[in-house]
Amino acid sequence: MTKKDFITKYLPLAQKAGEAFRINPVVILAQAAIETGWGQSDLCLRYHNFFGITAYGKKNVWWTGTSAQLSADSLSFRTYPAPLHSFMDYGRLIRHAYTDAADVSYKPAAFALKIGYSKYISEVNGDNREAYRRMLVSISQSITKLTDSSL
């Protein structure tokens, strides 16, 4: 799948989640691109988890409580019956747990700063917050250019 294919296929889901939770669909899709390697990760392909959301927390309308481990020593991640469930669960999570990031989502650089330095990003696996922030801004800009949209 090319980056353009990823955008074409999943932008409608990002738009649905964005509309439901008042979050810019561009930053939603940019985060999905980062977290899945543009739709190539096992977590995305096998379990429809586009955001690396772990299996902690209460069940909700989009997550029934199912989970999977990618290896014997990995965290447990949420699994979803379809991609839309993952996008909607992400929107719910960001709107309710990271309100300050959601509120500035139409300014991708501000959103990237808030989310990149929040508890959403784990440094357990050596993640680099500043690199994540820069990547989120860059991919958001690319998505906006590719979609030629004023989302």
Positive or negative torsion for Cα 13, 51, 141, 9: negative
* Residue at 138: amino acid letter: S
Cut 0.85: pTM above it: yes
Q: Whole-angstrom Cα distance, residue 131 to residue 109? A: 13
Stronger pLDDT, 147 or 141, i.e. the higher one: 141
pLDDT tens for 89-132 read 999 999 999 999 999 999 999 999 999 888 888 765 556 888 88
pLDDT tens for 38-60 read 999 999 999 999 999 999 999 99
Domains of the chain by start residue, with CATH? 3-39+83-146 (1.10.530.10)
**11: nearest Cα among 37, 19, 133:** 19
